[in-house]
Amino acid sequence: MDETSTPAPTGTVEGEDPITRSYEAAPEMSIDVARSYEAVIHLDAGDVRVELLPDEAPGYVNNFVFLAQNDFFDGLTFHRVVPGFVAQGGDPTGSGFGGPGYGLEEESNRLTFEPGVLSMAKSAAGVSGSQFFVTLGPAPHLNGDFTVFGRVTEGLELLEALGARNPETAEESGVVIQDIEIIEGGQS
């Protein structure tokens, strides 16, 4: 190896995904719930902007911010799309069964499932990790069972335009999330 080349990060194989996609425990609280946070989901077709709601679900927002800032979502897909209902992403396996290696303590609030809300998906009863979904239509049957932690402010039409996708039967991968950028604002 010459002095100008950069070695692969420890624990990775050349050509392997260098992004950490598994953690031993949920992240410690690092956000300031008094501040505002926005997530910008960058897709090939454009951006989806989401107002995060740390005052309503601080643990879920903290988790989402942590994963986004550590590039966890980069290159993952919307692996499950049910038109008029949800677009779901955040699974490193793309199967609907993957996660970050830990489960979050469940949070609840009284926000309702209208079109364009962001929520954590559950891989088992009460267990959330990295999978999230955005509602594409009203979903009142989710009220009380899942927790809203964000609202789409721009770009919902990009998710509404996605075709139906079932990760168990799809032959092609879903729409790729290029990056999720977190913008921290002032006091809310």
Q: Residue 106's CB: how many other CB atoms inside 10 A?
A: 15
Q: How far apart are CA 90 and CA 98, in angstroms?
A: 8
Domains in the chain, ordered, with CATH? 35-187 (2.40.100.10)
> Where residue 125 falls among pLDDT bands split at 50, 70, 90?
low
Q: Which two tokens stand for residue 121?
A: 């998906």
Extended beta strands in the chain, E state: 35-43, 46-52, 80-82, 86-89, 117-120, 132-135, 148-154, 177-187
- pLDDT 10s digits, 3-19: 433 333 333 334 556 78
**The model's pTM:** 0.88
- pLDDT 10s digits, 72-114: 999 999 999 999 999 999 999 998 889 999 999 889 999 999 9
